[in-house]
Chains A and B, each alone.
Chain A
């Protein structure tokens, strides 16, 4: 649905843009640049969706205030780096490994830390915060603080021109890599929704989060479900880290950058419905892109953050939450 959205905009404004394109003056506020920016917003949305999805599981479904989410993204990026560096693997090939390794680390963390803190949100918050410091420290000890190089797959370089001027120069275009990120994000969202709403594992997860004791009575192995779900959420964060590693910077503190964004996305979208994460990232990504274009990046961040705070003041459950009795 998302992927078609911008192209329909193009169709309706195609003629207008074509005329405008010919009369493109130097600089200024022309429609082509604005359309480009809207498309750029889609690129930002892809990254937000990808990095927010794991948190939608660990916080949205499991209610764990997971401040180490960014570090799992960082771990995924480092797994990609290691596999590329040691075995010369293509970035795409390393994605399953990024998922597996971060999921296993997530399972260990659940087993040793999170499991003992269910029902104590504040202590979970402190524990995961500590965990994030530890994970950063460990990665820095092993790999040093230097930035790491991850090679982007060559076949994903280049741009898809959506609108060209007479000379054949691309006026509106989106890079293949950004499209790849959006595709991965949407595919993972689809897969996760399928897992949660169509499989018995998903039903068990939802049963456990809604009424743990009752689920236990009915024979659900709640401990295994908890561990599996947390590991899956961490694995998704790992995939996000692997995919963005070639476009961003790989360094021990990189996760912090995504943590706040991921939280904004999940909180805005609403924590009960997985589709909320798509809505949240669309809203925040596009708002960010448009405001940043009109004003500038730091201001856009301030405005969007302030807007999210206002939003959760009036709708603490987020935008996409069904009203239910407590």
Chain B
């Protein structure tokens, strides 16, 4: 910053070092202490607990989402340790052993994810890690997990085009979110789509796949705009939308940009009847923050909504609210963070009951093919590509901030890691047992949708 009068400052080197180290130190302390306050930290974990890393940012721009993922993970761990909820039949703990969570907070900083995952694996010697939200953070830790052959459970819908022997993907692959929602938009709203997103890997890749899907269906993309992560000023993008007169908007904005966009969209005089918004990252939680009056009539495509009618979901919502407060809502990413913790626990239980060791190799083999009655319905880890069979649903937001489900598959859909519109016939098949060789295979054929 321009500061013409600094020449007379009495700052000397020693003082600079003093204050400088103080400032740096306080930032590190702030970054490291933010997440260590789980609800059951003081609970007795018995002898020889299983150490599991929990890696979500509770500070920084993406904390808004990742904190709720952490909450859902804590709820699942609590239920496993006490033998309640879906874990009731298995008794407290995993074959008698409790989970000890090792919580780190990477402060929304992609490099810190990398460092902290190294720390979790090398120093804390955790058995596996639950964590990450953005694709940027996953890409940042991927080399660490592959090099050290450790296991990461990743709970987020993402752009696909990835297949690792060290990651279990429990969020939606493109064919469980984009493949159904784009034809839905084409048929119900019209052929012209305007695509927007935050400026990083996931929204760009996701929009690229969606563009291919829309063109395949016969529609066109009349605009493609990105805003820096954390942007809350959308007046220009909205004006471009007005000028392009699309039939619908596809939004891949994430985080704190979401409420600002919906509010300014309505404030600019565009109603959901004029131009409906189809979104992927907009969930119950963002709707609650923007106020349902701004979202009514818009759409979201996700595997899970709080209104999904299953007994498992009723219990999940109740238990979540009991633990974190009545005012809270549940959403799809939280549900994925919740269900993947049970996949992990089931795999560990299987290994321990067979008298095995909790090595990454054993966990990998045991997790493949696990099934679980999740809040969204029955789901399963695909033994071939380590993604998850999930339901595909589209919700229309109502005035109470909850979704009316207007489209749903009858059963969980088999995940396909690669977008078939962009990479026709490319699939991912890990060997059994997994020797960590390249799993990518080109079949060159159209893949038929497979249901669980």
Contact = CB atoms under 8 A, between A and B. Distances in A.
B355 interface: no
Interface of B: 1-6, 8-11, 15-16, 19-20, 22-23, 26-27, 30, 34, 58-61, 63-64, 67-68, 199, 222, 225-228, 230-233, 235-240, 242-245, 256-260, 263-264, 266-269, 285-286, 288-291
A297 B243 contact: no
A145 B263 contact: no
B232 A257 contact: yes
B227 A297 contact: yes
A292 B240 CA distance: 10
Contacts of A47: 233
Given A47-B233, A296-B225, A126 B23 contact: yes
A212 interface: no
A63 B263 CA distance: 36
B226 A298 contact: yes
Given A145-B64, A146-B64, A146-B289, A122 B243 contact: no
B292 to A, nearest CB: 9
Contact of B64 (A40, A147, A157, A296): A147
Contacts of B257: 249
A288 B60 CA distance: 26
A200 to B, nearest CB: 26
Contacts of A44: 233, 235
A249 B289 contact: yes
Contacts of B269: 158-159, 170, 173, 175
Contact of A175 (B3, B226, B233, B267): B267
A250 B258 CA distance: 11
6 contacts: A120-B11, A122-B9, A137-B34, A253-B61, A257-B231, A298-B199
A51 to B, nearest CB: 11
Interface stretch (A95-103, A183-191, A225-233, A312-320): A312-320
Contact of A247 (B11, B34, B264): B264
Nearest to B27: A133
A37 B235 CA distance: 8
Contacts of B222: 27
B23 A297 contact: no
Nearest to A154: B293
B228 A297 contact: yes
Chain A residues touching B, range: 35 or more
Nearest to A157: B267
Given A36-B239, A126-B19, A296-B225, A144 B67 contact: yes
Contact of A293 (B4, B5, B240, B290): B240
Contacts of A237: none
Contact of A253 (B10, B26, B256, B286): B256
List the 6 closest A-B pairs by CB distance, nearest first: A147-B289, A33-B243, A249-B256, A292-B236, A159-B269, A248-B232
A134 B109 CA distance: 18
A140 B59 contact: yes
| Residue of B63, B230, B233 most packed against chain A (CB within 10 A) | B233
B2 A247 contact: no
B235 A43 contact: yes
Contacts of A63: 5
Given A27-B245, A47-B233, A121-B3, A147 B11 contact: no
Nearest to B31: A133
A249 B232 contact: yes
Given A145-B63, A297-B227, A121 B6 contact: yes
A271 B4 CA distance: 11
A140 to B, nearest CB: 7
Nearest to A30: B243
Given A137-B59, A145-B64, A248-B263, 17 more contacts: A33-B239, A123-B11, A130-B22, A130-B26, A140-B34, A146-B285, A148-B289, A170-B269, A175-B268, A249-B232, A249-B256, A253-B256, A257-B232, A296-B225, A297-B225, A297-B237, A298-B228
B239 A37 contact: yes
B2 A248 contact: no
A26 interface: yes
Contacts of A292: 236
B10 A120 contact: yes
Contact of A130 (B23, B58, B231, B258): B23
B4 A27 contact: no
Given A122-B9, A146-B68, A149-B290, A293 B239 contact: yes
B260 A247 contact: yes
A247 B64 contact: no
B4 A317 contact: yes
Nearest to A244: B232
Nearest to B57: A145
A318 B266 CA distance: 37
Contact of A147 (B236, B238, B259): B259
| Residue of B8, B68, B236, B286 most packed against chain A (CB within 10 A) | B236
B243 A318 contact: no
B416 to A, nearest CB: 31
A119 B8 CA distance: 8
A177 B256 CA distance: 20
A301 B228 contact: yes
Contacts of B266: 157
Given A27-B244, A133-B26, A254 B227 contact: no
Contacts of B63: 140, 145, 252-253
Interface in A29-73: 30, 33, 36-37, 40, 43-44, 47, 63, 65
Nearest to A175: B267
Contacts of B60: 253
A251 interface: yes
A78 interface: no
Given A158-B269, A316-B2, A120 B9 contact: yes
Given A37-B239, A65-B3, A178-B267, A251 B64 contact: yes
Contacts of A120: 9-11
B2 A317 contact: yes
A137 B30 contact: yes
A254 B226 contact: no
A248 B237 CA distance: 15
